[in-house]
Chains A and B, each alone.
Chain A
Amino acid sequence: MNPLELYRVVRLIRRFEERAIELVRSGEIVGGIHPYIGQEAIAAGVCGALRTDDIITSTHRGHGHVLAKGADPVRMMAELAGRVTGLNKGRGGSMHAADFGLGIFGANGIVGAGGAIAAGAAWARRYQGGDQVAVSFFGDGAVSQGVLLEAFNLAGLWNVPVIFVCENNGYATTMPVEGGVAGTILGRGEAFGMPSVQVDGMDPAVVYEAAAEAVARARAGEGPSLIECMTYRFDAHHTFEHKARLNYRSEEELATGRSRDPLDIAGARLSTEDREAADAAIEELLAEAVRFACASPKPDPADAMDHLYATGLRARTGASA
């Protein structure tokens, strides 16, 4: 995979998140976000191994996945800001951004929920032919959810072309992995008969290699895989943490965790000129994203009753009969 392209995606996500955090602070993004900063190499590497017609399901910390899979950063920013020009007309927001045309089946506010959905989306290939695959991203916390292990089993049993990508950033909110996960995450994949590997999640090229291998297997009809990407969340669990220090990670740990930065790792492979040119283009794009988001209209509450049913029935209003 082209190092420039990998770098570009890592950088785009990093700067997107930083700009989004500014909008949280200024009140343009309501409800805050779960920043993906530090974990960008995973989205970049995995989605780099995918085609547009492949499918992903994402998490509460989903901006990176959505962007890496090709969503328009401008409309994504508008979505976070809850504007009608957003990917989901401002009704999904940070935790439910989606772009179905690009195979982005959504960020998800429910931890662990995406795994089975990805398996189902991948299984559809049985009926439709083709060689698409699906990827489900999830965190180390999600492996404790029953539904994810149910999805592992179904995928293994039915030889589903799905790749389960665990982003092990060491914590589920404040719970360290050692406190929340018995045995190993890899062991869970192996138990269901999936080829399971653990890789350095800070290097997009390494993640790409592992993903490309798993994707090739899935395309060839050889079933599901698990990739555990070891990573570190540089920023808060959620932006509320910027205001309320939660004190579950020591300063030393933070410094060590941040010392291997995917941006540096990916950037070191480029010439200064290439890197600067990429950075400048991204700044321009994100400046437009922020401008567009803030200038776009907010949703009209009057249409809140629309789209409850596909068959055209409108929702009942709360008003008395």
Chain B
Amino acid sequence: MAAETLTLAKALNNGLRKAMEDDPKVVLMGEDIGKLGGVFRITDGLQKDFGENRVIDTPLAESGIVGTAIGLAIRGYRPVVEIQFDGFVYPAYDQIVSQLAKMHYRSRGKLKLPVVIRIPFGGGIGAVEHHSESPEAYFAHTAGLKVVSCSNPADAYWMIQEAIASDDPIVFMEPKRRYYEKASVDLSVKPGSLFTSAVLREGSDATIVAYGPMVKVALESAAAAEEDGRSIEVIDMRSLSPVDYAPIFASVRKTGRLVVVHEASKNLGIGAEVSARVTEECFYSLEAPVQRVTGYDIPYPASRVEEEFLPDLDRVLDAVDKSFGW
């Protein structure tokens, strides 16, 4: 198959379609996902082609949707739930954390819960609180859940299929500000498997680790740093729980400097965990403390000031500088 130009949204749509073709047990559920095709159009056209029994327009009831998905999964289906925006997942939090995450363990392996919860997350689209949040750490903190995030169309296409095929519950974080960014991709080339991190750019002086919407910022920062004569390695985590640490440790052992970037607040964010693990494993390789470039520890701010909240090129480069200046 030749390379084609595709948005991340369309890649997800293609991936969902493929998963539905491959397995009749895959069903999609969510608010406005059927006739409308979802507010971000990720499920566009799928109800038309697969019918109302497989692409289900649900009432406005996140807790009920996830609970129902759990029941369906126990009976052998593979439900894929769309949460319309990040901030609307909290009504379903109880079902996700108290039920979905624990049933396999509680049943000593008897029950399989192949549920995927898709969450468009993060800011940068001029929306507000509830529509721009980054709740991934809540889920990554919960034993029994897996949490992944795609950053580009090719990963989106493959990762959504792998997530659906997996027998574990997966929270699938989609970078909504990147939905309509295009890339040239060859969908026949499968990237590394779902739970692996990927080195997107090799470098020798410092490492930037990011995921989801911030991968692009990390790559841009690395390109800018190169002009200053610094060679930066960029790693896309892809899986936030479990984390594939081997490439991160290897990189830090090589570069001695690490900057972790995410939109979510700093306090107990994914960056805190990565920083701790790297400190535990690579202490003698570190030339400087691990730097974190993150959202601030406040509720997501009004759209007028969101640019100040979101990590950008300048803030990442400042952190790189700081790491070098240590």
Is B91's CB under 8 angstroms from A147's CB?
yes
Is B305's CB under 8 angstroms from A304's CB?
yes
A93-B297 Cα distance, complex, nearest whole Å: 20
Q: How large is the interface on A (under 10, 10 to 19, 20 to 34, 35 or more residues)?
A: 35 or more
Is A301's CB under 8 angstroms from B130's CB?
no
Is B296's CB under 8 angstroms from A172's CB?
no
Interface centre among B129, B289, B309 (most CB of A within 10 A): B129
A317 touches B (CB below 8 Å):
yes
Looking at the assembled complex, report how far the CB atom of B299 sits from the nearest CB atom of chain A, in whole angstroms: 8
Which of A30, A90, A141 touches B60 (beta carbons < 8 Å)? Answer: A141
Which of B128, B265, B298 touches A95 (beta carbons < 8 Å)? Answer: B128
Interface centre among B126, B292, B304, B308 (most CB of A within 10 A): B304
Taking CB atoms, residues of chain B closer than 8 Å to A172 are 31, 59-60
Taking CB atoms, residues of chain A closer than 8 Å to B291 are 320
Looking at the assembled complex, report how far the CB atom of B31 sits from the nearest CB atom of chain A, in whole angstroms: 7
Taking CB atoms, residues of chain A closer than 8 Å to B315 are 318
Closest to B84 in A: A173
Is A93's CB under 8 angstroms from B35's CB?
no
Instruction: Given A174-B32, A175-B60, A318-B296, verify A109-B128 contact (CB < 8 Å).
Output: yes
Is A30's CB under 8 angstroms from B57's CB?
no
Is B126's CB under 8 angstroms from A30's CB?
yes
B146 touches A (CB below 8 Å):
no
Instruction: Given A90-B302, A147-B91, verify A96-B297 contact (CB < 8 Å).
Output: no
Closest to B132 in A: A31
Taking CB atoms, residues of chain B closer than 8 Å to A179 are 57, 59
Is B130's CB under 8 angstroms from A305's CB?
no
Instruction: Given A31-B303, A96-B128, A174-B36, verify A145-B91 contact (CB < 8 Å).
Output: yes
Looking at the assembled complex, report how far the CB atom of A110 sits from the nearest CB atom of chain B, in whole angstroms: 6
Taking CB atoms, residues of chain A closer than 8 Å to B131 are 31, 109
Is B267's CB under 8 angstroms from A316's CB?
yes
Closest to B39 in A: A173
Looking at the assembled complex, report how far the CB atom of B267 sits from the nearest CB atom of chain A, in whole angstroms: 7
List residues 78-134 of chain B with CB under 8 A from any CB of chain A: 87-88, 90-91, 126-131
Taking CB atoms, residues of chain B closer than 8 Å to A304 are 296, 298, 301, 305, 308-309
Is B63's CB under 8 angstroms from A82's CB?
no
Is A305's CB under 8 angstroms from B296's CB?
yes
Which of A30, A112, A317 touches B304 (beta carbons < 8 Å)? Answer: A30
Looking at the assembled complex, report how far the CB atom of A190 sits from the nearest CB atom of chain B, in whole angstroms: 20
Interface set of A (CB-CB < 8 Å, partner B): 30-31, 82, 90-96, 109-112, 141-142, 144-147, 172-175, 179-181, 246, 248, 298-299, 301, 304-305, 308, 315-318, 320
Which 4 pairs of residues, A with B, have the shortest CB-CB distance? A144-B59, A301-B308, A82-B304, A109-B130
